[in-house]
Structures are given as structure tokens and as C-alpha cells.
């Protein structure tokens, strides 16, 4: 059977103070009153039954996820007891799925991306599921056709596109993964036409990714086997708490994808945005005549241009005079004001806030 696994554990510090330690970016209502998580679910629901959609998230976010996706069975929202990066989370999901369905095929997507049109990713997911069922030892990743020499994304070098029976998209062989490049290298990638942005989404048989983890990350075997043995039993949570933290903290790209010779790719020709920063809002939300991006129920701007102004507080008026190239982000207890080219220093600011105020405003 086909399953979708939604990775929804990230905190999104670069969207602070809207995104907080107990209120991550994927549940912020920034897109027409709907959350990124909701958008993700609606992209998946035409393909996967709600009973076959699983969300992996931080233990602090479980209630928020369930509130946002009431269609999901309660047990389909799984709390990770610790942060173990994507290899651990994916291994956990595959372990859970194979307990119920040894032949499970799983699509792994992330909750914090904007993908338009949704029909493009749906067809790509359908084709990937078809390909993997025909080639159960192979794995599919999705690459996005680059539109500029981005330095904030990883890249995938793809070769030998070929047709697959019953698939609309061509299937590429993945030659190599590349980390975030400098601008000159990114320009070379773009010019070559062989590189795609790494989307961080995958399709494979659950048992196949477990076999690859066993081969390339043998330290993961015992923890996952212990969790598999006790899942759906009286010791499920105790075993999860005890053994999940023993999984290596490493991404699935480093752990498996860069080492395997059975990786293929489908190219996505679509609008794809990783909602990881305030600057990304400018790519999603239409600006006013003065190039201000405003997400607010009420605002009055006088002689302001090139700003990003955001609040989720209904009934809160944002008023400004003479602002230029600024970010103003208002939450119920914190207001961030900074120049647009200083947002990369948010982590530094958060360390200072924690030092002087503890966890209160994080």
C-alpha cells in the first residue's frame, strides 16, 4: 500500500518571533489564512487516503498538528522524542510502516515547502510510486529545475533521462549530490543544465530504505529493530523514548543517498519555495505598489517601500512612516524590527535573548 510521511519537526528560527519553540513555522497562518502544513496535506490528499498519511513531528507540536489536521487518526501523528535529523526520522517512519505492511511504499515530503501548481508534484509522486513498485530496490528523489544560481540549496547532478512504463515524467539517474555551492559554482551548475535543486523529498519501499540504512548506517540497526519489535505493544512509548535517542544524528542525504548507486530522480518544473525565512514571503505574497509585502489584518503605511511587515494578531494595526528595506514581525508578546539584510543574524539575536531572558520569548 502507498503511504505519505510528512516531516514536520522543524522549528523555523529564521521566522522568529512568529515561529517559536512551541509554535513552529508549519502551523503559522501566513498563506491566505491557511498553514504550510495544511497546504501540504491538501497536496497529498488526492493521492493518499488520510489513514495513510503520517506526520512526524516534535513532541511539543503534536497537539498543534492534530488541531491543524483533524482528518488524521490520532495515532498517525508521531512524536519524535529527540531531534535526530532526517535519517532517524525516516528510519522511524519506515520501521513503523513495515510493522503493519511489510510491502509498504512510502513518499517522504516536508511540511514547510510551497509547491505550485500542486498538480505537478502530484503527478511526480504518482510516477515515483509506479517506478518504485516496478523497481523495488531503487529509490527516487525529486529535483527542482533551477531558475537562478542559488547558493542556499543543495544540488543533484542528473543524467540519462529515460521513459518509464505508465509514467508521464522521465526518470533520471543521479550521478552525484552536491552541497550548497558558492555563487560561481552555482552559476556553472545552472549553465550546464545537468543540475537540479535538491528538494528533500523521496519515494521508496519502506523495506528498501531500511536495508540501505543497515548497509550505510549500521549504528541505526539495533535502535530501529528494538522500536519495531515493541511498536503497537504496551512498551511502545518506553522503547521509543529509550532507543530513538541512540540513532545517529545525520541527514538521509549524508547517510544513504550520497552513497547508494540505486538513486534516481524526477525533475519538477514548478514554483518551489522553502519557507525558511522572511525573504521567502516576498516570493509567495504579492507586494503593494511600493513593493511592501504585508501580512496583516490592518495596516497603514506612509512613505514606506521595500519592507516585509507581518503579524498574525487579528485586529492589530501595523502603522509605519518612512520605513525602507525593513522587516517588522509582530507576535502577541514580541516585535522584531531589523533591516532586511540583517535577518541572517537572527540566531545570534536569539542566543542573546536566551542569555538575558531564558526560554520565555523563544
Residue 105, C-beta contacts closer than 8 angstroms, at least 6 positions apart: 1, 2, 3, 129, 132, 133, 203, 204, 205, 206
Of the three residues 274, 294, 318, the one that is the final residue of a domain is 274
pLDDT of residue 266: 96
- 184 domain residue, yes or no: yes
- 280 domain residue, yes or no: no
Confidence of residue 11 (pLDDT cuts 50, 70, 90): low
- 281 domain residue, yes or no: no
Confidence of residue 75 (pLDDT cuts 50, 70, 90): very high
pLDDT of residue 12: 67
pLDDT of residue 151: 83
Q: Is 152 strand, coil or helix?
A: coil
Q: Could you tell me if 56 and 143 lie in one domain?
A: yes
Instruction: Write out the residue range of the structural domain in which residue 320 sits.
Output: 286-357
Q: Could you tell me if 185 and 254 lie in one domain?
A: yes
Which of these, 250, 243, 211, 213, lies nearest to 227 by C-alpha position?
243
Find the range with the poorest average confidence among 148-162, 222-236, 240-254: 148-162
Determine how many CB atoms are found less than 10 A away from the CB of residue 262: 15
Q: What is the CATH number of the domain that holds 270?
A: 3.90.550.10
Question: pLDDT tens for residues 250-301?
Answer: 999 999 999 999 999 999 988 888 777 787 777 777 788 999 999 888 899 9
Between the CA of residue 91 and those of 109, 144, 324, what are the distances in Å?
A: 14, 25, 46
pLDDT of residue 359: 84
In the predicted structure, residue 317 carries a pLDDT above the cut 70: yes
Q: What average pLDDT score do residues 142-167 get?
A: 89
- 160 domain residue, yes or no: yes
- 344 domain residue, yes or no: yes
pTM for the full predicted model: 0.86
Q: Could you tell me if 115 and 226 lie in one domain?
A: yes
Which of these, 2, 16, 5, lies nearest to 331 by C-alpha position?
16
Q: Could you tell me if 249 and 302 lie in one domain?
A: no
In the chain, pLDDT over 70 holds for what percent of residues? 99
Q: What are phi and psi of 291, to 5 degrees?
A: 65, 30
pLDDT of residue 287: 86
In the predicted structure, residue 166 carries a pLDDT above the cut 80: yes
Q: Could you tell me if 262 and 346 lie in one domain?
A: no
In the predicted structure, residue 184 carries a pLDDT above the cut 80: yes
Quick one: which H or E segment has residue 187?
helix 183-192
DSSP per-residue letters across 306-345: S-EEEE--TTPEEEEES-BSEEEEE-SS-EEEEEGGGGGG
Number of domains in the chain: 2
Q: Could you tell me if 200 and 309 lie in one domain?
A: no
Highest mean pLDDT out of 130-139, 263-272, 345-354: 130-139
Q: Could you tell me if 158 and 261 lie in one domain?
A: yes
DSSP single-letter state for residue 220:
G
Q: Could you tell me if 41 and 180 lie in one domain?
A: yes
- 279 domain residue, yes or no: no
- Between strands 263-268 and 139-144, the pairing is parallel
Q: Could you tell me if 206 and 335 lie in one domain?
A: no
In the predicted structure, residue 312 carries a pLDDT above the cut 90: no
Q: Could you tell me if 119 and 198 lie in one domain?
A: yes
Q: Could you tell me if 174 and 205 lie in one domain?
A: yes
String of b and e for 265-295 (b: at least 16 CB within 10 Å)?
Answer: bbbbebebebbbbbbbbbeeeeeeeeebbbb
- 362 domain residue, yes or no: no
Which of these, 9, 85, 58, lies nearest to 250 by C-alpha position?
85
Q: What average pLDDT score do residues 294-315 get?
A: 88
Of the three residues 242, 274, 306, the one that is the final residue of a domain is 274
Q: Could you tell me if 351 and 233 lie in one domain?
A: no
- 36 domain residue, yes or no: yes
Of the three residues 254, 274, 294, the one that is the final residue of a domain is 274
String of b and e for 66-90 (b: at least 16 CB within 10 Å)?
Answer: bebbeebeeebbbbbeeebbbbbbb
pLDDT of residue 361: 87
Amino acid at each position: 500500500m502507498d503511504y505519505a510521511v510528512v516531516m514536520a519537526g522543524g522549528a523555523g528560527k529564521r521566522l522568529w518571533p512568529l515561529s517559536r519553540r512551541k509554535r513552529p513555522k508549519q502551523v503559522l497562518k501566513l498563506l491566505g489564512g491557511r498553514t504550510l502544513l495544511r497546504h501540504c496535506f491538501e497536496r497529498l490528499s488526492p493521492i493518499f487516503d488520510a489513514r495513510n498519511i503520517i506526520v512526524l513531528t516534535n513532541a511539543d507540536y503534536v497537539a498543534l498538528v492534530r488541531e491543524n489536521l483533524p482528518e488524521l487518526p490520532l495515532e498517525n501523528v508521531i512524536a519524535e522524542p529527540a531531534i535526530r535529523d532526517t535519517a532517524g526520522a525516516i528510519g522511524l517512519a519506515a520501521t513503523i510502516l513495515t510493522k503493519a505492511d511489510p510491502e509498504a511504499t512510502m513518499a517522504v515530503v516536508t511540511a514547510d515547502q510551497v509547491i505550485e501548481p500542486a498538480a505537478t508534484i502530484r503527478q511526480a509522486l504518482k510516477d515515483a510510486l509506479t517506478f518504485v513498485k516496478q523497481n523495488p530496490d531503487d529509490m527516487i528523489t525529486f529535483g527542482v529545475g533551477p531558475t537562478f544560481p542559488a547558493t542556499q540549496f543543495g544540488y543533484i547532478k542528473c543524467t540519462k533521462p529515460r521513459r518509464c512504463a505508465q509514467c508521464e515524467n522521465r526518470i533520471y539517474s543521479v550521478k552525484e549530490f552536491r552541497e550548497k555551492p558558492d555563487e560561481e559554482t552555482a552559476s556553472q551548475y545552472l549553465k550546464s543544465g545537468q543540475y537540479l535543486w535538491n528538494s528533500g523529498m523521496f519515494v521508496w519501499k519502506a523495506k528498501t530504505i531500511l536495508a540501505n540504512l543497515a548497509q550505510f548506517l549500521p549504528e541505526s540497526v539495533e535502535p530501529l529493530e528494538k522500536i519495531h519489535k515493541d511498536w503497537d505493544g504496551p512498551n511502545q512509548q518506553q522503547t521509543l523514548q529509550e532507543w530513538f535517542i541512540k540513532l545517529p544524528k545525520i541527514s538521509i542525504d549524508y547517510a544513504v543517498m550520497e552513497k547508494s548507486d540505486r538513486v534516481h530522480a524526477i525533475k519538477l518544473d514548478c514554483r518551489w519555495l522553502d519557507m525558511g525565512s522572511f525573504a521567502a514571503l516576498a516570493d509567495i505574497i504579492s507586494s503593494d505598489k511600493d513593493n511592501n509585502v504585508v501580512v496583516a489584518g490592518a495596516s497603514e503605511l506612509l512613505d514606506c517601500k521595500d519592507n516585509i511587515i507581518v503579524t498574525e494578531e487579528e485586529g492589530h494595526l501595523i502603522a509605519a512612516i518612512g520605513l525602507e528595506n525593513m522587516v517588522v514581525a509582530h507576535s502577541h508578546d514580541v516585535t522584531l524590527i531589523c533591516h532586511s539584510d540583517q535577518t541572517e543574524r537572527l540566531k545570534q539575536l536569539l542566543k542573546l535573548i536566551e542569555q538575558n531572558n531564558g526560554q520565555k520569548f523563544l
